[in-house]
Chain A
């Protein structure tokens, strides 16, 4: 089956630093990747949609300069949280869509900003 990996699975950083999260589709090419944020016991909040080779489309209220998304290839997308602050602490989940329209999720990255 389709597998999506994320790295790192968890990260702790100091306030003001930047953190990069990688999302890879391991056995299929993903023309579209999605980044979600999930707060405890809540549903997923879509942050942005990225298509390979083009700029990401951000949801309303998501700061594009703070959450930088790069989708440089059909198997890799990165989310960089710039100048992270404690309120950015969350569970970040990526998702990749395969050519058949199926959407598969990564295992998530737990970010804790001190």
Chain B
């Protein structure tokens, strides 16, 4: 079965410092991996995805994520955090066996990122 783990409920960083939000996954084949951000009382906004190709994926708002197959990880990173980055971040994996246009997303439980001024 597919699953995603976000080991940290909360990540706190100072503005200007680099940030990392961790995600590990478990799938039966090649994974399709996603990061989404959610602001209070809002839906999820797409940040980036990994389907194939370069292991380093660049996304919206200066975020990037590195796919590491040997460690089954897809950590979200940003070189310099902003206070406005404070939000809830979800990692997700799609069932690869059903292709890129089918299959459901499996979400992690979310990590609350707080960036202090």
Contact = CB atoms under 8 A, between A and B. Distances in A.
B43 A93 contact: yes
B101 A107 contact: no
A97 B46 CA distance: 12
Given A43-B90, A43-B110, A44-B90, A103 B105 contact: yes
B41 A110 contact: yes
B105 A105 contact: no
Interface of A is mostly: strand
A61 to B, nearest CB: 15
Contacts, number: 53
Interface residues of A, number: 26
Contact of A107 (B42, B104, B107): B42
Contacts of A100: 100-101
Interface of B: 32, 34, 36, 41-46, 49, 51, 90, 99-102, 104-105, 107-110
A97 B105 CA distance: 11
Interface of A: 4, 6, 31-32, 34, 41-44, 46, 49, 91, 93, 95, 97, 99-108, 110
A108 B41 contact: yes
